[in-house]
Amino acid sequence: MARSGRVLPGSYRATYSPDSTDGSCSRVVGTDPLRLEQIQPMRDYANVAAGGNRGIMMLYFLGRGVYRVERRRGWSAVDRYFLAVDTLGGKRVSSDEVGEWFARLG
């Protein structure tokens, strides 16, 4: 990613804050049974608070494929979904569509 914040062609950026407990992203590497490969984020400390406990952004650069994303919405609510990424960007897909997208983009 360039310093300007632009995303490279064929990649998709997801941002989460403030720390690793607030979100995760895994690449789907198999669908029967579902197998996942954890992706490590690139951390951006540009807007971090003085104490270092808030404002850390985690950036995930995703190439073509299918991903499972978890994002914390509150203290007890977690949003879990699948994301299919192609050269045009990302699209949220249902768990029923994961196999079809995996075969297409895999």
Instruction: For residue range 17-32, list pLDDT tens digits in order.
Output: 444 456 788 999 998 8
Nearby residues of 53 by Cβ (< 8 Å), 6 or more positions away = 18, 19
| pLDDT tens by residue, 27-74 | 999 988 899 999 988 888 888 888 777 777 778 888 888 999 888 777
Output the pLDDT for position 74: 75
Give 84's strand partners: 66, 91
| Residue 29: predicted pLDDT | 92
Is 78 a residue whose pLDDT tops 80? Answer: yes
